[in-house]
Amino acid sequence: MAASGMKVLVTGGAGFIGMYVSRALVEEGHDVIIVDNLNDYYSPELKCDRLMRLGFEASVGDKESCTSSTYRHLSFIRGDIVDKSFVMDVFGRYRPELVVHLAAQGGVRYSLDHPDIFIQSNVVGFLNVLEASRCYLVKHLVFASSSSVYGLNGKQPNSPHDSVSHPVSLYGATKIADEVMAHAYSHLFGIPCTGMRFFTVYGPWGRPDMSPFLFADAISKGTPLKVYNHGRMRRDFTYIDDVVSGVMKICHRPPQSDASWDNRLADCATSSAPFAIYNIGNTHPVSLEDYVKAFEEALGKKANKEYLPLQSGDVLDTFSDMSDMERDFGFRASVDVQEGVRRYVMWYRKYYDR
């Protein structure tokens, strides 16, 4: 028996955001296929534990494909989007109407030492998804971008309508490449494409290379907590529940061609093609010092802070302009940093003290 909604393919569905989005989609009544390669950039055990939260067996990491025991219309396929024949086969077999592309190699600093991996996963892999979307007439391709695209653009808040021509990391550059490739396919083949620039997403089940884990772990253990640029940085920390809410709203509204689009202005968030770019952020940037303080309060311990210079590839501030999301979807983030950190710490203690 088929689900009542759409056929949806989620790439990177064992990832942090992917797990939550997959669950939201299947609970809404869609037939969801997760694709993930379960690579070892960080613990595959954490990825498998996420899949187990979705009703897959403990042995999911050893299987090529399986179906959730909790959700009848949720399936998992192990494979790499860099393998074009694999991507084409999945699209050909399942014929997804909606594709939510979240698979990518993350980590700004990791990109400094492993550039080839980023080009393969984030550029070649996305090209394969675009090609398959073209061949199998996908009705809406929703894809993850990042606030890292803003790079040296010092205008605050960061607007999706502004220039992103000066990235400061290869990771950011690959996300810009994804956006412009998606626009080309949208223009050439009429594929409705929506890019989502995520702003420092955090919450339970997050990656262990991201600041919430690093902060909670260092403070809990009393080890030095590295605070870069001597704490003089701000991030628009966005809680996972708000991110998923934004993604779901975008999934249900494919972009339309903008007949009033003026090519002399070259606004990169809209187009004469069925293409759009949105920020998904909190709109309340928080300094690193205040972020550390939130963890100290949640954990009931003081941090042993080690102040260090700015790292290569980092930007000083991120601050999302969410006016387009509010106008088009009535969306506004609702979880502040204090509450989000409190929820994260509760999960951290439960998961890592097992």
For 7-205+239-282+319-334, which CATH superfamily applies?
A: NAD(P)-binding Rossmann-like Domain (3.40.50.720)
In the sheet that holds 193-198, the strands lie side by side as 65-67, 74-78, 31-36, 7-11, 98-101, 140-146, 193-198, 275-280
How far is residue 60's CA from residue 53's CA, in Å, rounded to a whole number?
A: 11
Angle in degrees, CA 189, 194, 199, rounded to 5: 150
- Give 289's DSSP letter: H
How far is residue 179's CA from residue 193's CA, in Å, rounded to a whole number?
A: 9
| pLDDT attached to residue 178 | 98
Three-state SS at 205: coil
* Cβ atoms of residues 204 and 240 within 8 Å: yes
Three-state SS at 36: strand
* Cβ atoms of residues 38 and 50 within 8 Å: no
pLDDT tens per residue across all 354 residues of the chain: 345 699 999 999 999 999 999 999 999 999 999 999 999 999 999 999 999 999 999 999 999 999 999 999 999 999 999 999 999 999 999 999 999 999 999 887 788 888 999 999 999 999 999 999 999 999 999 999 999 999 998 899 999 999 899 999 999 999 999 999 999 999 999 999 999 999 999 999 999 999 999 999 999 999 999 999 988 999 999 999 999 999 999 999 999 998 888 888 778 899 999 999 999 999 999 999 999 999 999 999 999 999 999 888 888 899 999 999 999 999 999 999 999 999 999 999 999 985
Cross-strand partners of 197: 145, 279
* Cβ atoms of residues 71 and 34 within 8 Å: no
| pLDDT attached to residue 4 | 60
* Cβ atoms of residues 200 and 237 within 8 Å: yes
| pLDDT attached to residue 188 | 98
* Annotated domain spans of the chain: 7-205+239-282+319-334
352 catalytically annotated:
no
Active site residue: 71, 171, 291, 344, which one? Answer: 171
Three-state SS at 128: helix
How far is residue 121's CA from residue 123's CA, in Å, rounded to a whole number?
A: 6
| pLDDT attached to residue 264 | 82
* Cβ atoms of residues 11 and 36 within 8 Å: yes
Cross-strand partners of 234: 287, 317
Q: Which residue has the tokens 């303080």?
A: 293
Q: What are phi and psi of 77, to 5 degrees?
A: -130, 125
